[in-house]
């Protein structure tokens, strides 16, 4: 007696440009619900797959007897729901990626490798003892929470979020108490239903510990410690799996995470919060180049959940969408800081009027000295790590170029190394010029290492009120590589053990430093005249966010009789960006930038995509791009008449790891036309690759953040 086999469509992870169909057909002895996790054979391997809705794909018909069978069903785990599958399907279509690539990327790495038996053992593990009390705690009287006194602005904004459906753009100055508004919104969402879940996104891993601490302090007494989980790439694979399972099963009520958390399985999603929504870190820059901020907007609308986008410097796209004439977002404003705290005063330093080769203007150095002698802290910002960007021989002109990239290797004095920040190639510093033998090879330019060294030297005689010498510390990607290093260094800052902190942009946003009263930006001018039209927006946001670290504690400022200051050393003090920065006038800056973009038909008045090609030679990369254009025109692809294709050009860093890189910009005033064109273009791009042997890879980047 033969067994009846049911054909099922299964999504598996296949190479991005393999040309393999989005779903593959397998058989099983019985129907399985869409979203079921299964183990299936793929070539000589056995991989994880997700049963998909057959109606979503034009699945090829085949005799069941000729199809391969599903190896195992991962029992005990509820199927991934319709909302999750719709999110994955939308992301794959919009960002022009393979459906299986997005679906499997969204699952924890540990889950992809578990067999059915291993998963069953994992699920049988006894939950943390705290989990048992979650449901009971959820029924506790919400009045047990500590009553928080809200400012008038916070009360008004919170009431509007409660009363309206959103989505909301929360425009609040640094220190205005946006986090408390998030906490109030989360409390309301969880109290509305005993199974509701909330997703809170932050742009960077280093912002999750302090946010998690605040959420645990507020909600653990009500819902238990296990109801709050984090989800980011800094966690171990078992930790990520545990958090994902808690979210998927509903035992986790609050999920805090970075951009990857947007794909968490949250069956009862009621609220999404995107903190620092303007941050470019929400855009993935490798593989599937999705924007977690934009996917949050789509997911909230699809799930019927509320959405709060929060920032002191919203992205211009979000700001435009919240204009009364557009009104896609409801704009909520909190212009004042909590309590009597005031925004920092801007002090512009014209470097053209300072002593030659001065790193710090005398007035700035005097201000830092005065603050340290009063026991206050200062933050010095330079968005370039290392000691110097390049070593240079003045005798023959040799530079510390990277042999694999069209970039220089950065001099790191701490370990006497030259490192390429693009390909990672590192070597020791030569004793003499490799070309002419000159022993006097000198660093050119400055990085955070050099700034820390020079400040320590300049402040060596400065004594704090505790009768000790001033301490200068540095926080950047080099000093925080070790596990727990960032948390330890931030703890030192919060404890007052550091007097002057030198850092990159990683310390310029989100951190609640209570004792910092002065912030100084040393070399911000490069972004003023960048070829990237988003550079002024990013610089304004960085300076506003950095300045927001100063003077956050009104009580501390009053006790020291101090006022917060933001010092900016610039060669162009007359630039309009600084005029808006002086008044903390983001609306004026945004209006000027949007007017310029409208005149140039740039986003948000147009929509963009990049086609990038990596090849063994620059000629091969550009030849592929040009051939792709000619193929599109020959085929008269849909939407072509509404899409402008710019000529291929090399990237700013043309060669990385001995691979040449070129790109071509596509622009259209109609988003739908651009999407139709890109979708129709995909088969032609796959076909063209076969004709260009020197091509290494190609990719499409929709809504690029850097051009």
Task: Tell me the per-residue pLDDT of 402-457, one tens digit each, with 9 for 90 and over.
Answer: 999 999 999 999 899 999 999 999 999 999 999 999 999 999 999 999 999 999 99
Mean pLDDT of 11-18: 76
Q: Is 333 known as a binding-site position?
A: no
Q: In what order do the strands lie in the sheet with 516-521?
A: 345-350, 565-570, 516-521, 377-381, 500-503, 472-475
The lowest-confidence range among 271-275, 299-303, 591-595, 689-693 is: 689-693
pLDDT at 312 over 80: yes
CATH architecture of 607-702: 2-Layer Sandwich (3.30)
Beta strands in 413-464 (DSSP E): 417-419, 426-428, 441-444
Quote the CA–CA distance of 290 and 294 in Å, as a whole number: 8
Quote the CA–CA distance of 373 and 360 in Å, as a whole number: 18
For residue 3, what pLDDT is reported? 64
The lowest-confidence range among 291-295, 485-489, 588-592 is: 485-489
Q: Is 433 known as a binding-site position?
A: yes
Quote the CA–CA distance of 394 and 438 in Å, as a whole number: 9
pLDDT at 134 over 60: no
Question: Which residues does 498 contact at the CB level (< 8 Å), separation at least 6?
Answer: 377, 471, 472, 473, 492
Mean pLDDT of 292-306: 97
pLDDT at 309 over 70: yes
Q: Identify whether the C-beta of residue 313 lies closer than 8 Å to the C-beta of residue 173.
A: no
For residue 178, what pLDDT is reported? 94
pLDDT at 681 over 90: yes
Sign of CA dihedral 330, 203, 376, 497: positive
Mean pLDDT of 492-510: 89
Residue 54 structure tokens:
């057959």
Question: Are 6-124 and 345-385+447-599 the same fold in CATH?
Answer: no
Mapping DSSP to helix (H, G, I), strand (E, B) and coil, where does residue 583 land? coil
Question: Which residues does 467 contact at the CB level (< 8 Å), separation at least 6?
Answer: none
The dihedral region occupied by 180, where left means phi > 0, alpha psi between -120 and 50, and beta the remainder, is alpha
Tell me the β-bridge partners of 330: 168
Q: How confident is the model at residue 339 (pLDDT cuts 50, 70, 90)?
A: confident
Q: Identify whether the C-beta of residue 449 lies closer than 8 Å to the C-beta of residue 474.
A: yes
Q: Is 405 known as a binding-site position?
A: yes
pLDDT at 131 over 60: no
pLDDT at 138 over 60: no
CATH architecture of 131-334: 3-Layer(aba) Sandwich (3.40)
645: nearest Cα among 629, 661, 627, 669: 629
Q: How confident is the model at residue 65 (pLDDT cuts 50, 70, 90)?
A: low
263 vs 487, more confident? 263
Q: Is 342 known as a binding-site position?
A: no
For residue 658, what pLDDT is reported? 95
pLDDT at 136 over 80: no
Mean pLDDT of 531-542: 92
pLDDT at 129 over 70: no
What superfamily would CATH give domain 6-124? PriA, 3(prime) DNA-binding domain (3.40.1440.60)
For residue 680, what pLDDT is reported? 96
The lowest-confidence range among 18-22, 171-175, 431-435, 601-605 is: 18-22
pLDDT at 459 over 60: yes
For residue 81, what pLDDT is reported? 95
The lowest-confidence range among 204-208, 473-477, 703-707 is: 204-208
CATH architecture of 345-385+447-599: 3-Layer(aba) Sandwich (3.40)
Mean pLDDT of 473-486: 87
Mean pLDDT of 377-383: 94
Domain ranges of the chain: 6-124, 131-334, 345-385+447-599, 387-446, 607-702
Q: What pLDDT, in 10s, does the model give residues 236-286?
A: 999 999 999 999 999 999 999 999 999 999 999 999 999 999 999 999 998
Q: Is 393 known as a binding-site position?
A: yes
Question: Which residues does 573 contact at the CB level (< 8 Å), separation at least 6?
Answer: 348, 349, 350
Mapping DSSP to helix (H, G, I), strand (E, B) and coil, where does residue 247 land? helix
Mean pLDDT, the chain, as a whole number? 90
Q: Is 378 known as a binding-site position?
A: no
For residue 126, what pLDDT is reported? 53
């Amino acid at each position: 007696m033969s067994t009846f086999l049911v054909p099922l469509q299964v999504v598996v992870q296949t190479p991005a440009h393999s040309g393999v169909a989005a779903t593959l057909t397998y058989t099983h002895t019985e129907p399985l619900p869409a979203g079921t996790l299964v183990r299936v054979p793929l070539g000589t391997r056995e991989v994880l797959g997700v049963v998909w809705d057959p109606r979503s794909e034009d699945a090829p018909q085949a005799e069941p007897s000729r199809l391969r069978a599903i190896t195992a069903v991962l029992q005990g785990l509820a199927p991934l729901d319709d909302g999750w599958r719709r999110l994955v399907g939308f992301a794959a279509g919009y960002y022009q990626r393979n459906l299986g690539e997005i679906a499997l990327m969204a699952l924890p790495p540990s889950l992809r490798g578990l067999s059915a038996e291993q998963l069953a053992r994992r699920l049988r593990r006894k939950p943390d003892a705290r989990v048992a009390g979650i449901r009971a705690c959820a029924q506790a009287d919400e009045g047990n929470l500590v009553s928080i006194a809200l400012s008038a602005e916070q009360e008004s904004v919170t009431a509007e979020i409660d009363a309206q459906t959103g989505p909301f753009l929360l425009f609040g100055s640094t220190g205005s108490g946006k986090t408390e508004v998030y906490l109030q919104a989360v409390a309301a969402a969880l109290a509305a239903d005993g199974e509701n879940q909330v997703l809170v996104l932050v742009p960077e891993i280093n912002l999750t510990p302090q946010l998690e601490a605040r959420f645990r302090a507020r909600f653990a007494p009500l819902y238990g410690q296990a109801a709050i989980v984090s989800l980011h790439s800094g966690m171990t694979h078992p930790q990520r799996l545990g958090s994902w399972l808690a979210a998927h099963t509903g035992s986790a009520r609050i999920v805090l995470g970075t951009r990857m958390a947007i794909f968490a399985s949250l069956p009862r999603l009621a609220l999404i919060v995107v903190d620092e929504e303007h941050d470019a870190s929400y855009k993935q820059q490798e593989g599937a180049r999705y924007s977690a901020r934009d996917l949050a907007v789509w997911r909230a609308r699809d799930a019927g959940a509320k959405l709060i986008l929060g920032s002191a410097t919203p992205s211009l796209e979000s700001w435009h969408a919240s204009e009364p004439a557009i009104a896609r977002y409801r704009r909520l404003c909190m212009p004042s800081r909590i309590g009597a705290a005031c925004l920092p005063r801007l002090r512009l330093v014209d470097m053209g009027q300072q002593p030659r080769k001065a790193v710090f203007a005398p007035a700035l150095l005097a201000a830092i000295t005065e603050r340290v002698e009063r026991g206050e802290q200062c933050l010095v910002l330079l968005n370039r790590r290392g000691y110097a960007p390049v070593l240079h021989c003045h005798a023959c002109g040799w530079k510390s170029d990277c042999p694999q990239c069209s970039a220089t290797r950065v001099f790191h004095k701490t370990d006497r190394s030259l490192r390429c920040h693009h390909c990672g190639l590192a070597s020791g510093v030569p004793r003499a010029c490799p070309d002419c033998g000159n022993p006097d090879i000198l660093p050119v330019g400055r990085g955070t290492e050099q700034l820390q060294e020079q400040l320590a030297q300049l402040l060596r005689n400065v004594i704090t009120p505790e009768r000790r010498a001033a301490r200068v510390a540095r926080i950047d990607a080099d000093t925080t590589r070790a596990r727990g290093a960032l948390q330890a260094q931030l703890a030192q800052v919060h404890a007052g053990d550091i007097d002057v902190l030198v850092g990159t942009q990683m310390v310029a946003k989100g951190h609640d430093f209570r004792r910092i009263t002065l912030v100084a930006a040393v070399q911000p001018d490069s972004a003023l005249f960048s070829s990237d039209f988003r550079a002024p927006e990013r610089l304004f946001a960085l300076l506003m966010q950095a300045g927001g670290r100063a003077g956050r504690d009104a009580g501390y400022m009053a006790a020291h009789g101090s006022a917060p200051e933001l010092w900016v050393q610039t060669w162009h003090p007359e630039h309009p960006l600084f005029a808006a920065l002086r008044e903390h006038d983001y609306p004026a800056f945004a209006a000027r930038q949007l007017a310029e973009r409208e005149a140039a038909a740039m986003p948000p008045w147009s929509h963009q995509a990049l086609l990038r090609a990596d090849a063994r030679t620059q000629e091969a990369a550009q030849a592929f791009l040009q051939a792709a254009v000619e193929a599109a025109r020959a085929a008269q692809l849909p939407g072509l008449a509404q899409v402008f294709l710019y000529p291929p050009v090399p990237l700013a860093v043309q060669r990385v790891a001995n691979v040449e890189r070129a790109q071509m910009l596509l622009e259209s005033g109609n988003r739908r036309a651009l999407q139709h064109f890109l979708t129709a273009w995909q088969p032609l791009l796959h076909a063209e690759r076969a004709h260009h042997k020197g091509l290494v890879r190609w990719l499409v980047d929709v809504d690029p953040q850097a051009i």
